[in-house]
Amino acid sequence: MFQLSSSPYSLTGEAENIVSDRLKGIEERVNLLRRAGTLSKESVRRYYGQKRFEQVAESNALEGSTLNVGETEIAVLKGITITGHDPAYIRDAVALDRALTRVVEIARDYDTPTDIAQLNEIHALLMGDRPGAGIFRNVPVRIRGADHTPPRTWQEVMDQMEAWEQWSQANADAPAPFRAAVLHAWLTHIHPFIDGNGRVSRAIGNLELIRAGYPPIIIKKKDRDAYIEALAESDSAGDIRAFIDLILSRADGAITGLENAAKNIDGYNPALERLRQRQEQQLTIWTTGAKLLGNIIEHNLTTQLESMGGKCTSKIFDGYLDIDDYIDLCSGNIISGGWAFILNIQVPGAGNLAKLAFVQPRSPRLHQHLGRVGGPSLYWSHANPAGYPKWTRDHDKSPYAIEATTLAGSGDEWIALLTDGSIVSCNTTELAGRFAKALMDQV
């Protein structure tokens, strides 16, 4: 179905089967929309236009821009400086919008696979009059916070970029989401430009999707940790599984957005706007409560481990849910991502334990217990010894509770479904203590 030979990457047989199944599922949804007359190539371009300023704002936010979507729209359409923001961010927004507009035009050429000439043209537009626009670098670079060292000389860059182009041409018929993931990750691996590598890589990924009639994806600022971690894994040992998984998850989300756009009736509804405002407040309370829970668990574990010479480290994720995610969770829909925090517990002589707390809709049991009211629940996963997927759901082997949730607007009153099937209520401190004790028992 697809080939990774001549690329820096590989997939095991099991991982290839999983990726193939996910690609088939995405293609089936796209084909169903096309059958309904909703998803023509022109309608994808129109949808892209609607998401245009969000695409610019989020891509630049990954690089540090502070402009939100509305401010980005004003900056692009009027070119004016927004008070309180670095003027460079205005320039970046205008330039990236110009480059992404050209991406849509290039996508009309369905027969020419993505090549170096297209890449350089897009990069030149997004960099504007800055040095190195559309020109491969001839000096070594370092990627901040990464162990990977890109090729150092111009000749090394050119050799690897020619291999990138040859793979693109040889695999022109591969599924677009797969091509988008490989060409995107490979570009960041080579890092062929002095600056703008991330933005041009994301633009190239969407060029692949739009050219094939798929909606573009948006990698949001809230995805930054997962995005960087997945790219780092692809850099370190050619393990592209996590990055493909991220791209396919975002493709799923983009198709859901297109499906919803096809169903929605245009027009402002004050009642719905008020409801959305309340939901945004509920989202803030939920994420604050979950973050506090993770911090208290880490504190309790650290205290208990000190006397044993062990330690606990954590990664608490910020902004892992947005309002669309929260509304989906309240409606009982599964979301992509949703990582709340990761705990790594190390005990001399006893081994290590890695746990991921993630968010998905309430189970039928808690949904019924709470009067059939939907909402987010926290679940547990452990590091998968097989390596792919990276995390495996704990289910009845969860520490203390299979899932835990709070009522809308309440950040300190938790309802937990225990591994023995009973349901209890407790506050954040109590729940954190019980989770910490159960995690120590598992170690």
> What's the CATH code of the domain at 74?
1.10.3290.10
User: Directed axis angle between helix 116-127 and helix 197-211, to 10°?
Assistant: 130
Structure confidence at residue 262 (pLDDT): 63
- State mean pLDDT over 379-401: 91
User: Do both 283 and 412 map to the same domain?
Assistant: yes
pTM, rounded to two decimals: 0.73
With a cut of 70, say whether residue 218 has pLDDT above it. Answer: yes
- Which of 357, 344, 337 minimizes the C-alpha distance to 314? 344
Segment among 75-79, 149-153, 356-360 with least mean pLDDT: 75-79
Q: 97 in a domain, yes or no?
A: yes
User: Do both 298 and 166 map to the same domain?
Assistant: no
Q: 2 in a domain, yes or no?
A: no
Whole-number Å distance between alpha carbons of 214 and 221: 22
Whether residue 47 contacts residue 258, with contact meaning beta carbons closer than 8 Å, is answered with: yes
Structure confidence at residue 47 (pLDDT): 64
Q: Report the chain's mean pLDDT, rounded to a whole number.
A: 88
User: What is the residue-wise DSSP string for 106-146?
Assistant: HTT-TTS---HHHHHHHHHHHHTTSTTTTS--SS----TT-
Whether residue 182 contacts residue 240, with contact meaning beta carbons closer than 8 Å, is answered with: yes
pLDDT band at 436 (very low <50, low <70, confident <90, very high): very high
Long-range residue pairs from 295-300, CB within 8 A, at least 24 positions apart, any chain: 296/428, 296/429, 296/432, 296/433, 297/343, 297/432, 297/435, 297/436, 297/439, 298/343, 300/432, 300/433, 300/436
Higher-pLDDT residue of 81 and 394 is 394
CA distances from 134 to 43, 129, 256 (A): 30, 10, 34
| Residue 153 token pair | 């000389």
Structure confidence at residue 185 (pLDDT): 94
- Using the 3D structure, point to which of 263, 297, 317 is the last residue of a domain: 263
With a cut of 90, say whether residue 399 has pLDDT above it. Answer: yes
User: Do both 192 and 69 map to the same domain?
Assistant: yes
| Residue 262 token pair | 């096809």
pLDDT band at 201 (very low <50, low <70, confident <90, very high): very high
User: Do both 330 and 228 map to the same domain?
Assistant: no
With a cut of 70, say whether residue 270 has pLDDT above it. Answer: no
With a cut of 50, say whether residue 186 has pLDDT above it. Answer: yes
Structure confidence at residue 248 (pLDDT): 93
Higher-pLDDT residue of 213 and 269 is 213
Higher-pLDDT residue of 261 and 411 is 411
For 278, the domain range is 272-442
| Residue 1 token pair | 């179905």
User: Do both 92 and 18 map to the same domain?
Assistant: yes
- Using the 3D structure, point to which of 246, 263, 280 is the last residue of a domain: 263
pLDDT band at 79 (very low <50, low <70, confident <90, very high): confident
- Using the 3D structure, point to which of 201, 232, 263 is the last residue of a domain: 263
Query: Residues 292-331: pLDDT tens digits?
Result: 999 999 999 999 998 888 999 999 998 889 998 999 999 9
User: Do both 161 and 293 map to the same domain?
Assistant: no
Rg (CA), the chain: 23
Query: Residues 170-184: pLDDT tens digits?
Result: 999 999 999 999 999
Cβ atoms within 10 Å of 144's Cβ, excluding its own: 5
User: Do both 257 and 307 map to the same domain?
Assistant: no
CA distances from 145 to 148, 149, 312 (A): 9, 11, 22
- State mean pLDDT over 376-386: 93
With a cut of 80, say whether residue 50 has pLDDT above it. Answer: no
- Which of 51, 78, 56, 80 minimizes the C-alpha distance to 68? 56
Q: How many domains does the chain have?
A: 2
- State mean pLDDT over 83-100: 87
Structure confidence at residue 375 (pLDDT): 95
With a cut of 60, say whether residue 265 has pLDDT above it. Answer: no
Segment among 45-59, 63-77, 279-293 with least mean pLDDT: 45-59
User: Do both 82 and 113 map to the same domain?
Assistant: yes
- State mean pLDDT over 89-108: 90
pLDDT band at 266 (very low <50, low <70, confident <90, very high): very low
